[in-house]
Amino acid sequence: MSIPRITSYTLPDKEHYPLNKTQWQIDPEKAVLLIHDMQEYFVNFFDIHHPPMSDVIHRIQRLKTVAKRLAIPVIYTAQPAKQDPNERALLTDFWGPGLQQETAIIGELAPEIGDIEYVKWRYSAFKKTPLLQFMQENNKDQLIICGVYGHIGILSTALDAFMLDIKPFVIGDTIADFSQADHIHTLHYLAGRAANIQTLAEVEQRLAEKKTALTLDQMCLDVANTLSLELDEVDVNENLLFLGLDSIRAMVLLEKWRPFGVNLTFAQLIEKVTLKEWWELIHDQTPQQSMESASA
């Protein structure tokens, strides 16, 4: 009754992808990224060091980087442990009692400050969660979906989105399934009925020209995440060395900001020691960007 151990398989290549019935394109202003059920419990049914999971983890990281650069909200779903039988209901008949210990989102994809996490109770990420309410309140009508498992939660969530007049985009090489056959079937089923299927490379290429300015608020979030701090612990005038900054973490931050058009060298960055000084340095380098943060 539980999930079977999943044999490694190669992610389907482009020739196995279906033709889309729609010509939908992702609009960063209207989209939300859903990282679906990438918990240790579900991921560990794969060999994480071999395809598809080794590839999927890396590609979801890339997809999230695109989302962050374009200020697309990132939402995670995760199922709880030791569910009450009445709450779990019919799922028990198919999959047994479920998680017996809390399992986090895998470390490689751990939520960052500013990301949203929803407890998930059913196949669809819309059932018994605030996802629909969040999208309506924030004027979002596109859902970019990645994660596991293709023919169960991914499929159900995409179908629900379609029936709620939300355009689902399933990024075919950022999902994993019980088998390559299940994976391919999911892509074809959805492309013909409810969703637009794209590859990560297509998403990256189409969104590459869409630029957004790096804000001081975003820099504060990145520093907090990189230094494992709470956001309110980050003061733009504080010496970052006192907060735990070292050369490795400085390089990590610099790489985070390169997609925003930041072309500073490491040597230029470490000449300054506060976030405000960094922001002024970046602003001087790219004068067309306005200082968009009230935190300045």
Residues belonging to the active site: 36-37, 120
- As a three-state string, the secondary structure of the chain is CCCCCCCCCCCCCHHHCCCCCCCCCCCCCCEEEEEECCEHHHHCCCCCCCCCHHHHHHHHHHHHHHHHHCCCCEEEEECCCCCCHHHHCCHHHHHCCCCCCCCCECHHHCCCCCCEEEECCCCCCCCCCCHHHHHHHCCCCEEEEEEECHHHHHHHHHHHHHHCCCEEEEEEEEEECCCHHHHHHHHHHHHHHCCEEECHHHHHHHHCCCCCCCCHHHHHHHHHHHCCCCHHHCCCCCCHHHHCCCHHHHHHHHHHHHHHCCCCCHHHHHCCCCHHHHHHHHHHHCCCCCCCCCCC
CB atoms within 10 A of CB 187: 25
